[in-house]
Amino acid sequence: MTLTRAHIEATVDAALAEDAPQGDVTSMAFVPESAIATADLMAREPGVFAGAEVFEVAMTRLDDRVKVTNLAADGARFDAGDILATVEGPARAVLHGERVALNFVQRMSGIATATARYVDAVGGTGVRVLDTRKTTPLLRAFEKHAVACGGGTNHRFSLSDAAMAKDNHLAVLLEAFDGDLAKAIADGASRLPAGISLEVEVDRLDLIEPVLAAGVVSTIMLDNFSLDDLRQGVALVAGRAVIEASGGITLDTIRGVAETGVDVISVGALTHHIDSLDLGLDVRVN
């Protein structure tokens, strides 16, 4: 799923309603209706930008007289002190939309910046860095878009996009099929909708061969493997499936994981353990 304009508008509308259910009482009381403001979206630290369209929608949704000029494109790297966008329009609308707009763009840029660090860390290895479903409920499209802005690759968007049999699935399967994992996986795969790929997670080396013996697995996830076990796993798979490494991957460890020969590395921390970037809206009243 891509981040569409319609989805941005619907989510921004909900956020604005949450932030000011009866309007911005402060601005209505203290800011003249005729006042015009100009503002700069200012970077207070370096990073990677994400959310240009989201910022524009949040700032203009309340009053179409507000004009936003984006000076940085999604995925652009910037330094502290750079102006990323400018805003001009009725001061009440600018002040009303400020916090919602900043909340979105600060979080999205934080995700993009963190992702870029992970991608840079595996540079030259050919390994892709993937996100996960560990996202903020209802904000998945925003957060996965931010991962892409940082140079990462989106894993499946939802439970409907691809099949992934994880440890809990396998525990049930093994009980139902008397421990015959290959047969259990092949049986389940036979009921998948057409075009749906299958990934299977394993947490031990001895599970790799039975999983691949099913003949239906496109990706095998090696979960929480040591570096030595990852190397052995790569040798055992021997090109028969895409190999994904996952589990506790950090910025300090990802390079070593990439050098074991895996194809992709999934990092939940890209979206569930990040700091929002320090961006501010510096307002001037004309």
Q: Which two tokens stand for residue 81?
A: 């002190």
Q: Which helix (H) or strand (E) holds 118?
A: helix 91-121
* The one catalytic residue among 77, 156, 166, 240: 166
Residue 68 DSSP SS3? strand
**Alpha carbon distance 208, 210 (integer Å):** 6
149 Cα distance to chain centroid: 9
* 99 classed as catalytic: yes
* The one catalytic residue among 117, 133, 134, 231: 134
Cβ atoms 55, 42 nearer than 8 A: no
Quickly tell me which residue has 């209505």 as its tokens: 28
* 223 classed as catalytic: yes
* The one catalytic residue among 24, 201, 244, 263: 201
Region label for 187, one of left (φ > 0), alpha (ψ between -120 and 50) or beta (otherwise): alpha
* The one catalytic residue among 13, 19, 45, 99: 99
* 33 classed as catalytic: no
* The one catalytic residue among 223, 229, 259, 278: 223
Running DSSP on this structure, what letter comes out for residue 53? H
Nearest to 285 by CA among 12, 14, 77, 27: 27
Long-range contacts of 251-258 (CB under 8 A, 24+ apart): 251/117, 251/118, 251/121, 254/118, 254/121, 254/122, 254/129, 255/121, 255/122, 255/125, 256/227, 257/227, 257/230, 258/121, 258/122, 258/125, 258/127
For residue 77, what are the β-bridge partners? 48
Tell me which residues are annotated as active site: 99, 134, 166, 201, 223
